[in-house]
Amino acid sequence: MSVNLKLLNAFLLVAEHRSFRRAAELSGRSQSALSLQVRELEGQLGAPLFHRTTRAVGLTPEGEALLPHARRANAELEAGLRRVRAAAAMEAGRLALGCPPHIAETVLPPLLAAFHRAHPRVAIHVREMPQAAVLEGVRRQDLEFGIGPRPAHAPSLGFAPLREEAILALAAPRFAPKGARSLPLAALGRLPILITSGANTMRAMVEEAAASIGTSFDPCCEVQMPATAIALAAEGLGVAVIPELALPRRRPPGLRVLPITDPPLLREVGIVQLRGSRLSPAATAFIGLLEAALTGPAA
């Protein structure tokens, strides 16, 4: 049975004050309108809720049975409304997002700190995981949104680009031609390469581009995180191939940062969310910080 909340509220007002007149004054409704709502509720329930006399209003046994449940239902509703209002004003609520670890390490820290200073009562949940896991978290609605490359073959997901990022080579001087400002992909294939393993979008992009010019590469070392590839490149083990947003703010000394060219390797990075979903005020505010931070070149 579906009961109109306005009818239940009318019952509560009369039951709490034991007076139709007083309940009408407090609710701003006429006494006849309030009486009509109570009678409508009684009709829906099939039982009288009040004893009405010229001097007093009392609860029937059915009304006594309904009253504690109605109070609890009303309290739960009020609590829910308070939570929604607090979340809308960002005095409470939750920000849940996912992204690859390199973005969590390099892009997010100053933005999360700024967001927390502005909205200290919003709980922040960041999931650092491979992009495939981020997309699945958004589909399941465990995450409100994700940050990362444009997903392929994902009709249930929407994508809003934030910036374009290059795939870079980080090389010690002995691996980079003197005076070079970029590194052709064919030349990269002749060098010892340090690259992330697995079926990630950057690895696939590099392999597809190499195949398109009739070359290939055999990594000398595969790692899980771009930060590891950078550290190994600093030790002279090889040339680290990383996405631009993985560049640390403090780069290891002695490494040259070279965009890969011929062809250039570029990809879009942006916000991924479930199609048709609406972002919370907290998510909207944080994405505003992301947009401001990612419109220029990576730090």
- Give 241-290 as a 3 state SS string: EEEHHHCCCCCCCCCEEEEEECCCCEEEEEEEEECCCCCCHHHHHHHHHH
The DSSP element (H or E) to which 57 belongs, if any, is strand 57-59
The DSSP element (H or E) to which 171 belongs, if any, is strand 157-171
Whether 19 has a pLDDT exceeding 80, the answer reads yes
Phi then psi dihedrals of residue 26, to 5 deg: -70, -30
- Rounded CA gap, 239 and 170, in Å? 6
Please state whether beta strands 193-196 and 239-243 pair in parallel, antiparallel, or not at all (unpaired). parallel
Whether 297 has a pLDDT exceeding 60, the answer reads no
Per residue in 99-122, pLDDT (tens digit) is: 999 999 999 999 999 999 988 989
State mean pLDDT over 35-49.
88
How many C-beta atoms lie closer than 10 Å to residue 278's C-beta? 9
At 80 the three-state DSSP class reads helix
- Rounded CA gap, 157 and 174, in Å? 44
What confidence category does residue 54 fall into, taking pLDDT thresholds of 50, 70 and 90? low
pLDDT score at 127: 96
Q: What is the pTM of this model?
A: 0.69
What confidence category does residue 299 fall into, taking pLDDT thresholds of 50, 70 and 90? very low
Percentage of the residues of the chain whose pLDDT score is greater than 90:
48
Burial of 163 (C-beta count, 10 Å sphere; 0-12/13-18/19+): middle
Highest average pLDDT, of 137-151, 164-178, 195-209, 282-296, comes from 137-151
pLDDT score at 30: 86
pLDDT score at 288: 93
Kindly report which listed range (74-78, 103-107, 135-139, 159-163) carries the lowest average pLDDT score: 74-78
- Rounded CA gap, 68 and 74, in Å? 10
Residues in the chain: 299
